[in-house]
Structures are given as structure tokens and as C-alpha cells.
Amino acid sequence: MRRAVEVAAGAGADVPIGAVILGPDGTELAAAHNERELTGDPTAHAEMLALRRAAVPLDGWRLEDCALVVTVEPCTMCAGAIVLARVGTVVFGAWEPKTGAAGSLWDVLRDRRLTHRPEVIGGVLEEECSALLREFFRGHRRSE
């Protein structure tokens, strides 16, 4: 999670969310932060970018034995992509009561109707991850 926090800190004008994909042996396959503002792409969430990037060294889209570590609970779009990529484990920091899809607002990742359900571990370094968001939005409000 510390690596994901480090990645999130480099998000610049974007909401500081960082994601890291670890391979079956624990090596980092990919890392990304939000790039929506940078690219103008509404789907450029940290998790989506990390999933795409991790598929390259694996030479395929199935991330079954991989772990996704992300600083904030995934939204529904990202949770859907995580399920479709068959990620084995999802670890996240801050809970997101407004848009979270790993237990807060919805629980897409553990929905029994889906064909794949990753192991989910939430609240890891929660305060540190939440602080990144609080600081960003405090500064963002002042600059408007």
C-alpha cells in the first residue's frame, strides 16, 4: 500500500488515487495514478490504467494470480473491470461511501451472481490514504 500511496502522490492535477498490480511472485507489474485531467479520458482511473498496463508483461488479460493494491475503494466501473480481468486479490485503503463498489455503496467485487469474485481486503493504511484525498480537495476548493 505504501507504494500505491507513493504513486498517488504523483497525480498532479488529478485526484490522488494510486494503484499497483503485483504479480503472482509479488513483483510489481504495473502502477498508475488517475489521469482523467491529464488525458481528458473519463475512464482513466488508476485501477483501469494499471489493469491495462499489467496485461502487457503478462501477455494476456487474465490477472487471476495477481493483486491490485489501490489507495481508495474502487468505483463500479473499476470493480467491473477488476472482475472481468479476474484479479485474484484487491487491497484498498480508504473507503468511499459515495461511489465505492467493494462494500460501501455497492459490493460488485463480492456479488455472488458474478462468475469471479476476488478476495477483498479494505481499510489498509486507511488514514494515510484518506489524508491524501482530504488535502487534495481542501486545496482544490481554495483554488476555485
Closest residue by Cα to residue 64 from 122, 121, 3, 117: 117
Question: Do β-strands 28-33 and 89-94 pair in parallel, antiparallel, or remain unpaired?
Answer: unpaired
**Residue appearing with cell numbers 470493480:** 79
Catalytic position from the list 6, 35, 47, 126: 47
Mode of pairing for the β-strands spanning 89-94 and 67-72: parallel
**45 is annotated as contributing to ligand binding:** yes
At 142, is the secondary structure helix, strand, or coil? helix
Cα separations in angstroms, 142 against 16, 92, 94, 133, 139 = 17, 28, 23, 14, 5
Please indicate if the annotation marks 33 as binding a ligand. Answer: no
Contact 126, 94 (CB under 8 A): yes
- For residue 75, say whether it is annotated as part of any ligand binding site: yes
Q: Catalytic annotation on 96?
A: no
The grid coordinates of residue 107 equal 459490493
- Binding site members for Zn(2+): 45, 75, 78
- Binding site members: 45, 75, 78
Instruction: Give the residue numbers marked as catalytic.
Output: 47
